[in-house]
Amino acid sequence: MALKAEKIALRATEKQRSWFAQQCGYARVAFNYGLSDFKDGLSKDEFRSARDLRKRFNTNKHEKFDWCRECDQRAAAYAFEHLDDAIQRWRSGQNNFPQYKKRSHRQSYTVEGAKVKVEGKHIRLPKIGRIRMFEALRFEGEIRKVTISRKAHRWFVSILVETGTPNAPRDTRGLPVVGIDVGINSLATLDNGMKYANPRPLKRYERKLKREQRKLSQKEFLSNNWFKQKRKVERVHYRIGCMREDAHHKATTDIVNKASAIGIETLKVTNLLKNRKLAKALSDSALGGFLAKLKTKAESLGIPVIKAPQFFASSKTCSSCGEKKEELSLADRQYHCQSCGFVEDRDVNAALNLRTLAIGSVERQNA
């Protein structure tokens, strides 16, 4: 079974947007009601399963929330599935205890795929009918699940499709092993010297974002003008996120298309963010998200990704003779080896070391 998802922007009308917001509110109310009921059961030493929570909600929902009769009941059903997943993660120690969903947080709701039909650039959802999409669905197969979500001023649909056949590994014969060093000045540097530019969108839009946030702080809280200004702030954040995602996707796609194996470094982003002088620039670059996209795309094509050990000194080690330099500051952009006289760009030297590590790992696997 091969599951693939695609997220497409919707050309929704004002009536359809209002409907989406109502369903998101219904899903949020159901989730919060179930969480309160679950916490009440814990206080009485009674563990209530997601099925019990959903039954109790269905018994009382028309009395407490008479407006929910017009809503899509699948939104509430999937809300309890999400609550069950959060509870199971909490019980296994993977996550903290579930928190209540707020109206100001991400708005989304999920419907069953069997009730959804996709016809070219249109999608037909239960109770609301046909909605235009910006592009057609790329995948063919059975639709398993559909999630509607809002980001800034736009509504999106995420369609999960069961294609039936998994991806066949791509033929990478003749392609080299690639080492990649990520950074702030350049998003990614390859061992052959090629660099991918980092757009730094937050730095580019920081003045505009500050100006819009300052206007928001001057509005009366929860007034109509406050909500209008809040939408303007959201649009700036949306623009920043789109620029960052675009750069990440273009770079990762280009890399996986010309590599037989990839060597990357292991980054502890939470530890890196403790440096207050680099925290904003690191957050703007989103290096963790870049490496996650690279790994996902490589695995889908059958390309191995070799991660270096956490304390592997890729920047301090000479890629020519293997000598390790103890003192190397961030201001040193050129690597000069005192033993063999090797001179190379700091990031390229690190990428060469990561490529050597990846080659060794691939040869061991082949052996």
Question: What pLDDT band is residue 326 in, cutting at 50, 70 and 90?
Answer: confident
Residue 352 CA to residue 255 CA, distance in Å, equals 15
Asked if 98 contacts 90 with a C-beta cutoff of 8 angstroms, the reply is: yes
pLDDT in tens, 272-294: 888 888 889 889 899 989 999 99
Q: What is the pLDDT of residue 121?
A: 94
The predicted model gives 128-142 an average pLDDT of: 92
Residue 167 pLDDT > 80, yes or no?
A: no
Q: What is the pLDDT of residue 149?
A: 95
Among 337, 340, 308, which residue's Cα sits nearest to residue 324? 337
Over the chain, what is the mean pLDDT?
Answer: 89
Q: 340 or 150, which is more confident?
A: 150
Q: What is the pLDDT of residue 203?
A: 93
pLDDT in tens, 11-26: 999 999 999 999 999 9
What does the DSSP 8-state code read for residue 278? T
Question: What pLDDT band is residue 81 in, cutting at 50, 70 and 90?
Answer: very high
Question: What pLDDT band is residue 367 in, cutting at 50, 70 and 90?
Answer: low
Question: What pLDDT band is residue 237 in, cutting at 50, 70 and 90?
Answer: very high
Asked if 302 contacts 170 with a C-beta cutoff of 8 angstroms, the reply is: yes
Q: What is the pLDDT of residue 1?
A: 53
Q: What is the pLDDT of residue 363?
A: 67
Name the least confident of 152-166, 217-231, 234-248, 311-325: 311-325
The predicted model gives 80-101 an average pLDDT of: 93
Q: 367 or 133, which is more confident?
A: 133
Among 214, 12, 209, 24, which residue's Cα sits nearest to residue 110? 24
The predicted model gives 80-94 an average pLDDT of: 93
Q: Which helix (H) or strand (E) holds 214?
A: helix 201-217
Nearest-5° angle of CA 207, CA 212, CA 213? 95
Q: What percentage of the chain reaches a pLDDT higher than 70?
A: 98
Asked if 76 contacts 57 with a C-beta cutoff of 8 angstroms, the reply is: yes
Asked if 5 contacts 162 with a C-beta cutoff of 8 angstroms, the reply is: no
Q: What percentage of the chain reaches a pLDDT higher than 90?
A: 51
Q: What is the pLDDT of residue 357?
A: 86
Question: What pLDDT band is residue 252 in, cutting at 50, 70 and 90?
Answer: very high
CA distances from 104 to 26, 183, 227, 243 (A): 14, 33, 11, 24
